[in-house]
Amino acid sequence: MALNRLFIAILTFSSLLLTGCFTMLMMQDNKNTQTISIKSGDGEKYDFYIEGKLLCKNTDVCNYIHDADTPCRVSILMKRGDVTYRHMLYGYWGEGDKVYSQNMNYCPGNSLTIEPDSVIKKQEEAKRKKAAEDVWVNGPAN
């Protein structure tokens, strides 16, 4: 008799657990998202910001998950420290005059390569080179 009750209790607990897990999986599947892989064009590591918030730090590839229930309008910054190497508006920013379409919720692609601004990159490389030369000539600062 006690064994039957234990079996029924275990069976009931297992059923509830599996139902809860299945419900959680179904809720996740209903989320309408799009993953966009953002890459640095020069293969160097940068910090990537989405809408002004840090998403990935010190990497050459960053994955952004876009909520496809909202229009694809993403502001992306590619930075190293305080220096911005590129600011890009990705998606459908100039489409406000056109009739809204559900297709505008999905970004134009699943991957995006961002090239750093070559002028800024050269300026920063020159600053680093000069700083290294100053250390070599003057010795390390105390």
76 burial (CB, 10 Å; 0-12 / 13-18 / 19+) is buried
Reported as a single tens digit per residue, the pLDDT across 90-139 is 998 875 545 557 688 999 999 999 999 999 999 999 999 998 887 666 66
Inform me whether the pLDDT recorded for 23 exceeds 80: no
Q: Is the pTM of this model over 0.85?
A: no
Which pLDDT score, from 0 to 100, does residue 104 have? 86
Reported as a single tens digit per residue, the pLDDT across 39-94 is 999 999 999 999 999 999 999 999 999 999 999 999 999 999 999 999 999 998 87
> What's the rounded Cα separation, in Å, for the pair 23 and 19?
6
